A and B are shown apart, each in its own frame.
Chain A
Amino acid sequence: RKEVEQDPGPFNVPEGATVAFNCTYSNSASQSFFWYRQDCRKEPKLLMSVYSSGNEDGRFTAQLNRASQYISLLIRDSKLSDSATYLCVVYTGTASKLTFGTGTRLQVTL
């Protein structure tokens, strides 16, 4: 089983739609969680951290469920510029490293 699993997609949605991505992780000792955005052949860029209480940043909302080892990202009012691959990233302090999911590809269309 992969340490971090995501549905690779692609998710094709019209502009203005709401879309949600899910991610599961296998290591219950994982401490910190992030969503990164990666454009084709570019470096990943931090989108937002994920907190246990859930957090929101503009049109983006992240949720964490430690009991189910599950993370989600909700994007409201999708824009064409949101088209990218969204990476679920987990930090495990004991190993002091980040583990990346394979990413979920989002394509927003007119």
Chain B
Amino acid sequence: GAVVSQHPSWVICKSGTSVKIECRSLDFQATTMFWYRQFPKQSLMLMATSNEGSKATYEQGVEKDKFLINHASLTLSTLTVTSAHPEDSSFYICSASGGLGTNEKLFFGSGTQLSVL
């Protein structure tokens, strides 16, 4: 089946630094990728929808200047958490669709646990 690779799996950083997370579709071209955030014991919350070659669409309440998304190719989307603070500590997961027939079938990356000290 389709594979989505996400890395790093774990990041520990100091407050104020920026962290980049990569999401790659390995065996298919992903026209659309999604970025989610999940706090402990809570549901996955969609942060933004990333479309190849165009600007990402952010969900209400998500700061686009803080969470920079780049989808420069059909196989790679990146999420950069700029000037990270402890409240940004969370589990970030990407997913990808495209080449599968419908947007509703998604394949997820393995997630990135971000801890900001």
Interface residues of A (CB under 8 A from B): 4, 8, 31-32, 34, 41-46, 87, 91, 96-103
Residue in A42, A43, A98, A102 whose CB lies within 8 Å of B46 = A98
For A96, the chain B residues whose CB sits under 8 A away are: 49, 103
> CB distance A97 to B43 under 8 Å?
no
Whether a CB of chain A sits under 8 angstroms from the CB of B91 is: yes
B: number of interface residues (CB 8 Å): 21
Q: If A32-B104, A43-B110, A43-B111 touch, does A100 touch B41 (CB 8 Å cutoff)?
A: no
Docked Cα-Cα span, A31 to B44, in Å, equals: 19
Q: If A96-B103, A97-B49 touch, does A45 touch B43 (CB 8 Å cutoff)?
A: no
For A103, the chain B residues whose CB sits under 8 A away are: 43
Whether a CB of chain A sits under 8 angstroms from the CB of B13 is: no
- In angstroms, how far is the closest chain B Cβ from the Cβ of A59? 21
For B110, the chain A residues whose CB sits under 8 A away are: 42-43
Q: If A43-B93, A97-B46, A97-B49 touch, does A102 touch B41 (CB 8 Å cutoff)?
A: yes
Docked Cα-Cα span, A101 to B34, in Å, equals: 17
A-B contacts, 15 of them at CB < 8 A, read A34-B104, A41-B91, A43-B93, A43-B108, A43-B109, A43-B110, A43-B111, A98-B34, A98-B104, A99-B46, A100-B36, A100-B44, A100-B45, A102-B41, A102-B42
Of chain A, the residue at the smallest CB distance from B110 is: A43
> CB distance A87 to B46 under 8 Å?
no
Whether a CB of chain A sits under 8 angstroms from the CB of B89 is: no
For A34, the chain B residues whose CB sits under 8 A away are: 104
Q: If A102-B41, A103-B43 touch, does A42 touch B111 (CB 8 Å cutoff)?
A: yes
